[in-house]
Chains A and B, each alone.
Chain A
Amino acid sequence: MGTPETGAAAAPMVSSKPRRMPLVTFNDLLWMLYLYPIGWLARVLPRSLLYAIGRLANPIVQFHARDRRAKAAAWIAAACGTTAEHARKIAADSLSHNLFGTLDDLLLVRPGSDSMLCCDGVEGLHHLETALARGKGVILLVAHFCANRIALRYLAMRGYAALTVHNRQPTNVAEGRLGREFLQPRRIGLQRRAFPEHVFVQDAECTLKIMRRLRAGGLVMLQMDGRAGTNPIEHSFLGRRRHLASGVFEIVRLSDCAVVPTLCLGRSDGLRICFDPMLEIVRGSSRDAFVSANLSQFLTIVEKQVIANPEEWRLWNHSLAWRV
């Protein structure tokens, strides 16, 4: 199944041109199964049975994504400096984690789902408290890890509710018209129910809402490794040239907020969250000066997180992640 990719508040207001696509694809059928029979069952099934369904579906998902996995393995081997065999295992594990993360989304829309979240540990909470004490808001800087969504809900439950940015129109090259027109809006609707505090990257008001939250001294979770919308920054990331979103830098520059690197790992039955000390932001008068002074620091942190936990990064198998 394709994974939605969310950039950091930098997409243009206008939508891109529609592309020609088949009526139905295998990917659409997988999403149909996910949203309906599995989605309905998830309302009543215990988590262990839902995960059992996930284990049954995993070989199908792995087979469906075999070409993407092969490409991802080559990238993983180069980026993580590991053997081809280990890289193939990481690519497969990344897909599995993504699958279980998607199943966790179904759990999150259940009434009383907060009580189902099991956290194995939160490290560095004092770093977050220190950053909040500045009173200018805090950006939780994360990469596209599978556990981010669960962590958002857990943190909200602990009194650290964070605004997050979603993509209303994630690009998925494997979907057909059924997926694009019918299933995708329902997937997005499911996300909206699971995460009431969000803003869509396509909204004209996206960064204003983020700024509003920061000025109120609140939290915003932003994914640093999102695909760029407008004003992209071309830079090497995990050994490849990528167009990265510049929006996060503009938000930090203009808000003077704190930035706390955050790592979220695991699943709903065993979540771990780690907050690092807040970054020393180098102030710059212009956008370009600010980006060149801080880009390397931001990217290095995210790259280290991914290389240390490659099997939990969602974008290895994402075709858009390969594009410059």
Chain B
Amino acid sequence: MEPLPGMAGLRSPQTLDRIRRVFIESLHLNVQGEDLADLEQLKEAAGLDSVAVLEFVAALEKEFDIRLEPEMLTIEVVGDLKQLAAYIDERSAQGRPPLESPA
């Protein structure tokens, strides 16, 4: 998949690894070792439903202390872990203010 405009060029391996870990932990998936390193698309986790995708997004926002912009809440972005890593790196580089604490 082609990266979205403004999301090319950035993507640290550490960010991708953290995203993969959040993905596995938030959804309680039984994926380990090499399988985890290969994981790039949400659809590779069979049987995942749309509520699970939402849980993943919430866990991701907590992990990186960011709030995904509404236009980023698409399966094209959230479902592609590399693209997601690029987006998060870009947000970090821009030094956006952290997510406000919940009420």
Contact = CB atoms under 8 A, between A and B. Distances in A.
Sorting the interface of chain B by its residue count into under 10, 10 to 19, 20 to 34 or 35 or more gives: 20 to 34
Sorting the interface of chain A by its residue count into under 10, 10 to 19, 20 to 34 or 35 or more gives: 20 to 34
A12 B54 contact: no
Interface in A191-220: 201, 203-209, 211-212, 215-216
B70 A215 contact: yes
Nearest to A206: B50
Interface string A136-155: 00000000000000000000
Interface of B: 42-43, 46-55, 57-58, 70-71, 73-75, 78-79, 102-103
A256 interface: yes
B49 A215 contact: no
Contact of B54 (A11, A203, A250): A250
Given A204-B79, A209-B73, A212-B70, 10 more contacts: A9-B50, A10-B51, A204-B75, A208-B53, A211-B70, A212-B71, A215-B70, A247-B50, A254-B54, A254-B55
Classify the secondary structure of A's interface with B: loop
A143 B79 CA distance: 32
A45 interface: no
A205 B47 contact: no
A251 B74 CA distance: 16
The interface centre, meaning the residue of A212, A256, A287 with most chain B CB atoms within 10 A of its CB, is A212
Nearest to B103: A256
A205 B75 contact: yes
